[in-house]
Amino acid sequence: MNYQAILEEIEREILPLFGEGKVADYIPALANVNPNQFSISLQMFDGTSFGVGEVNKKFSIQSISKVFTFTLALNYYGKELYKRVGHEPSGNPFNSLVQLEYENGIPRNPFINAGAIVTADSLVSIYKDNTFNQILEFIRTVANDDTINFDEEIFHSELEHGFRNYALINMIKSFGNIYNQIDDVIETYFKQCSIMMSPAQLARSVLFLANHGVNPLTNETILTESKAKRINSLMLTCGHYDASGDFAYKVGLPGKSGVGGGIVAIVPKKMAICVYSPRLNSQGNSLIGTKALELFTTKTGLSIF
């Protein structure tokens, strides 16, 4: 299949959509990006890659970081972790508080903010003051790139304006499902969201999920086949919050979005993809990114269904 030609075709076909959607501005530092960007990177198991747009330009990974922190936590705790965070879609917005109250502070899944905050807390219990460094090191390992870092301005912007996340963590703490100091946990969470990566780096860093837990580029085992399967199922059912059903319906791949405008997706046994375009739909997922992935699976027949 001529992937490069397909990507170029997609780039042409999404052009009329520019102008639709809105860049996230509830985090002021995110509002500064140029809204009219589009890039897509395809990473194959043999190291070959294809791409259009600025595939080496870094952006804020935001909620895509939840895949990496959940991988770390699931590796350490195994199914014990599910006592504190579930694995059901929430059907609610990514920052919603409502289910927590009648579900005893147990977030529905690790990919909504509440679940990612509990996941961050579970990591602070293991790594204490060194938690963020461990997360960053892990991401550098899976991406095989130790230049990856976080953005101070975006981190501070969320520290100052992340009121909903403070509400979430306080609510969860009131139910006894946050074990550490609120400040330590929320700082870890905001820092992981402010990590900067390019589409090429992100596509490489989720390749292990497309390959039963083993990074095909380095042969390193990141997690077991069974745990890789579970993370992929969670990406399929919960990776796009209250638009997860729509994403599965239209794209048909396990994927995870972030309000920075990135989406990672995997084609099992074949490749990993990252698309970036910062204008978001009403559920906080990249509008053009979702459309581009829909076109990709339509043109290639590579959905999992």
Q: Which residues are catalytic?
A: 63, 66, 189, 241, 259
When asked if residue 114 is in the footprint of ligand GLN (CB under 6 A), the reply is: no
Residue nearest ligand GLN, Cβ-based: 63
When asked if residue 110 is in the footprint of ligand GLN (CB under 6 A), the reply is: no
Place of tokens 């969320």: 158
The binder of ligand GLN chosen from 99, 165, 232, 237 (CB under 6 A): 165
Pick the closer one to ligand GLN by CB: 162 or 255. 162
When asked if residue 95 is in the footprint of ligand GLN (CB under 6 A), the reply is: yes
Pick the closer one to ligand GLN by CB: 24 or 214. 24
Place of tokens 């520019």: 18
Q: Which stretch binds ligand GLN (CB under 6 A): 76-84, 158-166, 223-231, 266-274?
A: 158-166
When asked if residue 94 is in the footprint of ligand GLN (CB under 6 A), the reply is: yes
When asked if residue 62 is in the footprint of ligand GLN (CB under 6 A), the reply is: yes
Which residues neighbour 127 within 8 Å (Cβ) at sequence distance 6 or greater? 133, 134
Place of tokens 């790139």: 145
29-64 burial: b if 16+ Cβ within 10 Å, else e: bbeebebebbbbbbbbbeeebbbbbbbeebbbbbbb
When asked if residue 286 is in the footprint of ligand GLN (CB under 6 A), the reply is: no
When asked if residue 289 is in the footprint of ligand GLN (CB under 6 A), the reply is: no
**Which amino acid is present at 265?**
A
Place of tokens 């747009």: 53
Which residues neighbour 194 within 8 Å (Cβ) at sequence distance 6 or greater? 60, 150, 151, 152, 154, 155, 158
The whole-angstrom separation of Cα 52 and Cα 42 is 9
When asked if residue 259 is in the footprint of ligand GLN (CB under 6 A), the reply is: yes
When asked if residue 135 is in the footprint of ligand GLN (CB under 6 A), the reply is: no
**Which amino acid is present at 70?**
F
Query: In the numeric block, which tokens belong to residue 127?
Result: 């790594």
Residue 189 assigned ligand-binding role: yes
The binder of ligand GLN chosen from 258, 261, 278, 289 (CB under 6 A): 258
Q: Answer whether 296's CB lies under 8 Å from 273's CB.
A: yes
Give the interface with ligand GLN as residue ranges (CB under 6 A). Answer: 62-63, 94-95, 113, 158, 162, 165, 193, 258-259, 284
Q: Residues annotated as binding site for substrate?
A: 63, 113, 158, 165, 189, 241, 259
Q: Residues annotated as binding site?
A: 63, 113, 158, 165, 189, 241, 259
